[in-house]
Structure 1
Amino acid sequence: MIKIIVTDGIDKEGLESLASHNGFKLYVTEDSKELLKELPDADALLVRSKTKVNQELISQGKKLRFVGRAGVGVDNIDVETATKKGIVVANVPGGNTISAAEHTFALLLALARNVPQSDASVRKGVWKREKFIGSELLGKSLGLLGFGRIGREVAKRALAFGMKVFAYDPFISEANMKASSVQAGSLEALLKECDYISLHLPITDETKKIINQKTIALMKPDARLINCARGELIDETSLISALELKKIKGAALDVFTKEPLENSPFFGLENVILTPHLGASTEEAQIKVAKELSDSVKEFFEKGLIRNAVNVPSLDIENLEKVSPYIALAENLGKFIFQIAKGGIEEIKITFSGDFSSAVSHLLAITVVRGVLSSAIGKAEVNWVNALPIAKERGIRVEEIAVSEVEDYTNLMTVQVKTALQKRSVSGSILTKGIPRIVRIDDLPVDVIPSGHLLVLTNLDRPGVVGFIGTLLGQNQINIAEFQVGRRSQGGEAVSILNIDSPVSQEVIKKIGEFSGITSVCVVNLT
C-alpha cells in the first residue's frame, strides 16, 4: 500500500482517482506536527505553496520517493536536498495559465474603473461618483514584460478590448510576437509609452527588482502597474514611494516579496489594489492541477514513469542512472550557450557524435532545450515534457543531428544556436570517471568544468590579458579556481574561461570589457 500525505487543501475532486485506488492510501492533514509524525513511513507528499518542504522535513521522510507540487512554483521545496535523497520533485506547469491571465485582466479592469475604492465608499454610505471617474481601455496601450504562456493569454484579452499591446521579452523573436498581433519593444520604450504595464517574468538575477526607482521614473504619470507574477520583480519600497507621491496613477498587486502581507505601507494607500495571491485560485484551476498531479503520482508508482519532474527527466527509473551524467552535461550546455549568446535565440542545433542511441540522444536534446529555456523563463516553468512545445511556441527551431564518428572523444555533444545577431557553439563530453567537461567553445579547444560561476571572455591572444584579469579579480576579492585559455593560433582569436568562487559585479565586468584586446565578456551562472 502506497501512503500519500496531502496538505495545503489540495482539491478533493482532483484527487478522487487516488482516493478511490486500492493501491493508495491518502492521509490528509493541515497540521505541521501531524505531518512530521506521519512522514517517516510515507511514500509521497503532495503540497501547494504553504507547506515548506525543507531539509528538516525531507530528513523525516525515510521512505519518501515523490514530492508533488499542485501548481508551478517550487520555491517552497528544497529541490537540491530532495535530489540528493533520490526523491522526485514534480509540479504542474501550465495548469494555472488561464486563471492567472484572467486575474491579471480583472485587476487591470479594477484599476481602470476604481472598482474596490468605489465599493468601499458605497459601503461607508458615501455616494460620490465624481471621485471615481474611470478610464476606457479602448485605444489604450498595454506593455507586457514577459511574453510566455500567461502573457500571451493576457494579450488576447487586451486585444479583444481594443487595446494596443506591446511586449518586452528578449528571448522571443519579433516575428513570433507579430504573429500574435503584438508589437515588440524595448523595456525602456514600454515603460515610457504604455498606459498599463503588466509583469509576466520569471525571477532571475536580471529580472529581480526590475521595477525600481529608476524604471518607475520612466513611466508616465497616468501609468498603472499590475503584478500577478512574482513579488520579487518589484522593489516595493520604490513603488510605495511612487504611489505616495503620485508619480504613477496606481498599481494592482497579487504577489509580494514576503507573504502573507502584514503591517504594510500599502495598506494606507488608496491608489493600490491588493489581493492575497489569488492568481491560481479558481475552482477550475485547482481541480485541473490536482488531477494532473494525481496522474503523475499514479504513473510514477504504477509504471515507474516520471512526468513533469523538475529535478529528473521523464524516463523509466531503471535507465535514469545510466545516462544521468550526460543529462547534467546537456542541461549545463544549454544554460551555458544561452548565457553567452547575444539576441533572442531563433534556432538550436544539437549534434551527437559517437555512440548515442536515438532514444538517449532525443532525451538529451530535450534536456539541452530545457537548459536554454530554464535560463530564460525559470526552471519551474519548463521540464522534459513541455520543453519542445514551449520552444515551438516561442518560434525556436530545434534540430537533432547524429554523427557516428568523432575524433578525440568517445561521445561528444555540440550545441549551436543562431540568433538575430550571431551564431555560437559549445561542445561537451563525459571524460573518465563520469566527469563532465566543456571541451570546445566556438571551435576553440578548452577544458572547463561546467559548474558554479564562470567568466567567459573572447580576446586577442596577446601578452597582458591574463595578468590584467587576474590582478583585477584579486583586487575585488574574487578567487579564481581555474583559468583556461583556448586559441586558434598564436596572436589570433582566443577564448578565456575562468571558474570563480563568487559572482562578478557589473562594475568589474565593465572594466574587463574596456581593456584593450578583449572583445566580449559575460558571466555564466551554472549553480
Structure 2
Amino acid sequence: MKVLIADTVLPVCADVLRRAGIEADHRPGISGNDLLKAVADIEGIVVRSDTRITDEVMRKAPKLRVVGRAGAGVDNVDVAAATKRGIVVMNAPGENTISAAEHTLSLLLALARQIPRADRSMRAGRWDRGQILGVELCGKTLGVLGLGKVGREVAARARAFGMDVIGYDPVLSEEVAARLGVTPVPIRAVYERSDFITLHLPLSDATRHLIGADELSRCKKGVRILNVARGGIIDETALHGALVSGHVAGAALDVFENEPPAGSPLLSLDTVILTPHLGASTQEAQEKVAVRIAEQIAAYLKDNLVINAVNVEGIDPRLLPILQPYRDLCERLGKLLSSLARGPVSEVNVEYSGSVQEYPMRPLTASFLKGFLQAKLSDPVNVVNALVLARDAGIRVLETRAAEPQDFTALISITLRGRDGTRVAAGALFGKREPRLVRLDEFHLDALPTGDMLIVSNDDRPGMVGRIGTAIGSASVNIAYLSLGRDRSGGHAIAVFNLDSPVPDDLLRQIGAIDGVLWAERVTL
C-alpha cells in the first residue's frame, strides 16, 4: 500500500503511515503532470488546501481508495466525483479549534488596542502615544455569529476578559447556550447590541454576504468586526464603505473572498488588520491534523474502518440498494424541516412504522440529521458525525418504532420540538423508490419533496388556490405539480407547489400579503 502526501504536511504524518506498514511518499508542492504521474500507483493521498484533487486526478489514479484532507474544509477535493468513483474522502475536523479561537482573540486584542498601527508608527520613527487610543474589552458586548466548536472557545475566552457575550446560532438550544455563558439572541440583535462581532459560520448560499450594507447600517456606530471563518460571509465592498465612513471603527480579517486579496481596497486602510489565513497555522494544530489524518487513512486502508468521512458511512453493502431510497427520503425531510423550523430545536423524534423497521434505523436518522443540520452548522455535516453534532447543539434525538401504519406499508414520521413549538413531517416511498411527503404538521397530503417548492398555508375558503396560482403565473413561474390538504372544511388548508424555477423574493412577499394566507415559505430540495 502506498500513500502520496502532496502538500506541506509535518513529517509525523509519514511516520505514522510507515509505522502502520504503509509506504509514504512525501512530495510537497507537486502539481500538474508530475501529480498526474505520481498518482498512478497510490491507494491514498493526503492534501492540505493547495493541491486540488479533481476528477482528472482521480481518473489517473485507478487504485485510489481514499483522499485525506489534513484539516477540515474539502473545497479543494471534488467530493461528488470521488463518491461516484467509490473513493472515500475524509478530513480531520476540530483539530484546529484552539488555534482558530486563539487567533481570533489575538486579532480581537490587536483591534481593540490598535497594536499593528502602533508598531508601524514606531518603526517609522514616531512616538504617537497621544494619538493612538484603544478601548477596553472588559464590559463590552461581543456578538458571536455561529457557536460551533470555534465559536464556543472564543466565547469562553472573551468571558474571561469580562466581556458580555451574546450569540446567534440557528440550532443551539437555550440550555446549551446557558452552559456556555452565552445569551442567545436573534441575529438582528447581534448587529444592534454588539461592540465587537466575530464570525464563526460556514460559507453557504445562505451565509454568503450575510453581512452587507444593510446589516452594517444596523450595527452600533463604532462596531468592530472580525472574520476568522470563511471569506465571502462579509461583503468586502460594503465593509470598505462602512470603514471609510467611520460607522465601523475597525475590522480584523484572516479570510477573504479571493485569496490572496490582491487589489482589495481594504489593503489601504489603517483601520483594518489583515492576516493571510493563519487560523490553523500553529505547530500544535498542524501536528494534530497530520497525526489524525494518517491514523484515519491507515485504519481505512488496513481495516476498512471509515472515520470522519464526508461522503460515505459504514453500512452493510448488501443493504445499500434497499436503504438508499429511505436515506434519500429522510435527508429530504431534514432539508424541508430545516427550511421551515423557526428558532432553536431541543428535540427530534424519528418514528419508524411498518416494514422500514426491518432495517437499521441509525443510518436513516443520520441521513435526516444531515439534511436538517447541513445548512445550519459551521462544522462539516455528514451521516457519520450528524448525531454527534446534534448532541453538541443540545438536540435530543429519539428513535421510536410504532405500530403498522394504516395507509402505508412503511412510514417515517419526524417531530421537531423547540422554543417556537412543534413541527411534523412524514414521508413514504411509492413503488419502493419514489419519495412522497404525506404529512406536514396537521395536514395530510401527497406532495413531491423535490426541486423548487412553494408551501402556503391559508384559510380554507373558496378562491384561495386560484389567487395564489394567479400570482405564481403572473410572475412567469410554471407550476409542475400541486398537492392540497386541509384540517377540516372551513378551517385551515395547505398547498404545496412544485415549480419549474425558484420563487422570487417579490412573489413570496406578494403571496404572503394575500388576504387569507397565513404563511408562505419557499424550499429547494
- TM beyond 0.5: yes
CA 1:285–1:359 in structure 2 vs 1: closer, same or farther (change >3 Å)?
farther
Of residues 476-485 and 284-293 in structure 1, the stretch that sits farther from structure 2 once superposed is: 476-485
Aligned to 1:481: 480
SS in 1 for 2:502: coil
SS in 1 for 2:436: strand
- The reply to whether residue 31 of structure 1 matches residue 19 of structure 2 is no
Aligned to 1:412: 411
CA 1:29–1:444 in structure 2 vs 1: closer, same or farther (change >3 Å)?
same
Partners of 1:281 and 1:437 in 2: CA distance: 47
Contact residue 462 and residue 491 of structure 1 kept, 8 A: yes
Deviations 1:461-505 (A, max 9, x none): 444333333332333333333222233444443222222233222
What pairs with 1:305-384 in structure 2 (closer than 5 Å)? 305-315=305-315, 317=317, 319-356=319-356, 360-377=360-377, 381-384=380-383
Deviations 1:2-50 (A, max 9, x none): x322222123213422133324443534222211222344322322222
CA 1:52–1:476 in structure 2 vs 1: closer, same or farther (change >3 Å)?
farther
CA 1:63–1:216 in structure 2 vs 1: closer, same or farther (change >3 Å)?
same
Deviation at 1:336, TM superposition (A): 1.2
Partners of 1:260 and 1:316 in 2: CA distance: 44
Deviation at 1:180, TM superposition (A): 1.7
Deviations 1:35-87 (A, max 9, x none): 12223443223222222333433433333332222222222222223222222
Of residues 205-214 and 261-270 in structure 1, the stretch that sits farther from structure 2 once superposed is: 205-214
CA 1:81–1:517 in structure 2 vs 1: closer, same or farther (change >3 Å)?
farther
Q: Which amino acid aligns with 1:136?
A: E
SS in 1 for 2:458: strand
Partners of 1:473 and 1:273 in 2: CA distance: 48
Partners of 2:424 and 2:14 in 1: CA distance: 45
What pairs with 1:206-285 in structure 2 (closer than 5 Å)? 206-285=206-285
CA 1:418–1:255 in structure 2 vs 1: closer, same or farther (change >3 Å)?
same
- The reply to whether residue 299 of structure 1 matches residue 304 of structure 2 is no
Of residues 212-221 and 401-410 in structure 1, the stretch that sits farther from structure 2 once superposed is: 401-410
Contact residue 221 and residue 247 of structure 2 kept, 8 A: yes
SS in 2 for 1:217: helix
Q: Which amino acid aligns with 1:445?
A: H
TM-score, scaled relative to structure 1: 0.93
Contact residue 307 and residue 314 of structure 1 kept, 8 A: no
Deviations 1:255-290 (A, max 9, x none): 111111112111111000001111111111112122
Q: Which amino acid aligns with 2:325?
A: P
SS in 1 for 2:515: coil
Deviation at 1:111, TM superposition (A): 0.4
Deviation at 1:235, TM superposition (A): 0.7
Aligned to 2:57: 57
Aligned to 2:122: 122
Aligned to 1:195: 195
Deviation at 1:109, TM superposition (A): 0.6
Contact residue 355 and residue 404 of structure 1 kept, 8 A: no
Aligned residues: 524
Partners of 2:411 and 2:288 in 1: CA distance: 41
SS in 2 for 1:233: coil
CA 1:40–1:272 in structure 2 vs 1: closer, same or farther (change >3 Å)?
same
CA 1:356–1:296 in structure 2 vs 1: closer, same or farther (change >3 Å)?
farther
Of residues 81-90 and 237-246 in structure 1, the stretch that sits farther from structure 2 once superposed is: 81-90
What pairs with 1:365-514 in structure 2 (closer than 5 Å)? 365-377=365-377, 381-432=380-431, 434-514=433-513
Aligned to 1:157: 157
Contact residue 144 and residue 198 of structure 2 kept, 8 A: yes
Contact residue 314 and residue 384 of structure 1 kept, 8 A: no
Q: Which amino acid aligns with 2:402?
A: V
Deviations 1:378-414 (A, max 9, x none): 5x52233432332222221111101252333332211
TM-score, scaled relative to structure 2: 0.93
Q: Which amino acid aligns with 2:412?
A: M
Deviation at 1:131, TM superposition (A): 2.5
Q: Which amino acid aligns with 2:5?
A: V
Partners of 2:306 and 2:449 in 1: CA distance: 26
Contact residue 40 and residue 63 of structure 1 kept, 8 A: yes
What is the aligned-residue RMSD (CA, Å)? 2.2
**What is the aligned-residue identity percentage?**
42
Contact residue 14 and residue 24 of structure 2 kept, 8 A: no
Q: Which amino acid aligns with 1:328?
A: D
Deviations 1:66-125 (A, max 9, x none): 222222222222222322222222222222211111111110011011111211222222
Partners of 2:186 and 2:43 in 1: CA distance: 48
What pairs with 1:163-174 in structure 2 (closer than 5 Å)? 163-174=163-174
Q: Which amino acid aligns with 1:133?
A: L
Partners of 2:341 and 2:115 in 1: CA distance: 45
Partners of 1:406 and 1:304 in 2: CA distance: 38
SS in 2 for 1:262: coil
Q: Which amino acid aligns with 1:161?
A: F
- The reply to whether residue 77 of structure 1 matches residue 83 of structure 2 is no
SS in 2 for 1:197: strand
Deviation at 1:154, TM superposition (A): 0.5
Aligned to 1:290: 290
CA 1:298–1:131 in structure 2 vs 1: closer, same or farther (change >3 Å)?
same
What pairs with 1:40-51 in structure 2 (closer than 5 Å)? 40-51=40-51
SS in 1 for 2:188: helix
Q: Which amino acid aligns with 1:479?
A: N
Contact residue 52 and residue 77 of structure 1 kept, 8 A: yes
CA 1:525–1:94 in structure 2 vs 1: closer, same or farther (change >3 Å)?
farther
Contact residue 304 and residue 316 of structure 1 kept, 8 A: no
Deviations 1:172-191 (A, max 9, x none): 23333222221122323222
Aligned to 1:98: 98
Q: Which amino acid aligns with 2:313?
A: P
Partners of 1:389 and 1:418 in 2: CA distance: 18
Partners of 1:5 and 1:105 in 2: CA distance: 36
Q: Which amino acid aligns with 2:336?
A: F
Contact residue 199 and residue 229 of structure 1 kept, 8 A: yes
